[in-house]
Amino acid sequence: MRVIRVGTRKSQLARIQTDSVVAMLKTLNPGLQFEIVAMSTTGDKILDTALSKIGEKSLFTKELEHALEKNEVDLVVHSLKDLPTVLPPGFTIGAVCKRENPYDAVVFHPKFVGKTLETLPEKSVVGTSSLRRAAQLQRKFPHLQFKSIRGNLNTRLQKLDELQEFSAIILAAAGLQRMGWQNRVGQILHPEECMYAVGQGALGVEVRAKDQDILDLVGMLHHPETLLCCIAERAFLKHLEGGCSVPVAVHTAIQDGQLYLTGGVWSLDGSESMQETMQATIHVPAQHEDGAEDDPQLVGITAQNIPRAAQLAAENLGTSLANLLLNKGAKNILDVARQLNDAH
């Protein structure tokens, strides 16, 4: 019996996410055995610096890719938002799993339970490690102060509860749900308050690009609607050349054969912003279809069982929206954000 080795980060959330993917694969392939290999990444080790300052695109993925390259593991499970829009040569995202709640959530210090960001006292400190969240929320809630908070979910919740430093922290709702901590969610932030990160709430399975057996195995996990939304989002980010060091956010929806993509860019303090929405007609297949095996990847993703035309339409939508923003002056906002972030 073949043993499939699955790489993951060591954090509790990463393990839960990996276990969920392995469970789906086991259901589809009862004859296979799976072994989970956990490892620490750069992003897990450098905990005293804001993510946007470390200046490394593959913070949470590099060590895992190294194991994939050396054939120590066959596939790696990531949060899709941690995967850069351009992967190193030889790797591809072979599955984009069904997205959970993509929104951000607010967890309040016990003494502020029942409050919202709007009703927190003046000068309350809110913890977030994301420039994207801080920029949007500063614009929306100017009476609050935003401060970087790092560490895995357990660490951040502990810092919130035990130190008297933070009145609230912002986390991805999907992570809290997967950890079973829904009871801590005091507020869900909707797009008009805070749009989410590219790929947020979805899991991506990274594999060796030439490993057709493993591509076939994980390709069954592609969720067509999530895949097409995330191709559009990733194409938007890629064309803007955004990463951890600039505030870029999105919102996608598919309705009646239309894919709607809203994208925005912000200055670091949120004072300047630019947002636009575009749509494209798209065919979302009800189930997987056979595609060509030699299709090149789009924004790092290989999906041989989803119609190519739909994928290209999604990619084109993301690129077109980025061009619209760039033509309206988004590059200037992003360049200044990048320079300011590098200078601090």
Task: Give the number of C-alpha atoms closer than 13 A to the C-alpha of residue 21, restricted to the C-beta side.
Answer: 36
Task: Give the Cα separation of 182 and 66 in Å (integer).
Answer: 34
3-state DSSP assignment of residue 207: strand
Residue type, 312: L
DSSP assignment of 248-305, as one string? EEEEEEEETTEEEEEEEEE-TTSSSEEEEEEEEE----SS-----TTPPPBTTB--TT
Catalytic residue among 74, 82, 104, 211: 82
Only one residue has tokens 């809110």, namely 126
Contact 127, 147 (CB under 8 A): yes
What is the spatial distance between Cα 145 and Cα 46, in angstroms, rounded to a whole number? Answer: 24
Sheet holding 3-9, edge to edge: 33-39, 3-9, 75-79, 203-208, 91-96
Q: Which two tokens stand for residue 94?
A: 């072979």
82 is catalytic: yes
Distance separating alpha carbons of residues 184 and 96, to the nearest angstrom: 27
Positions marked active-site: 82
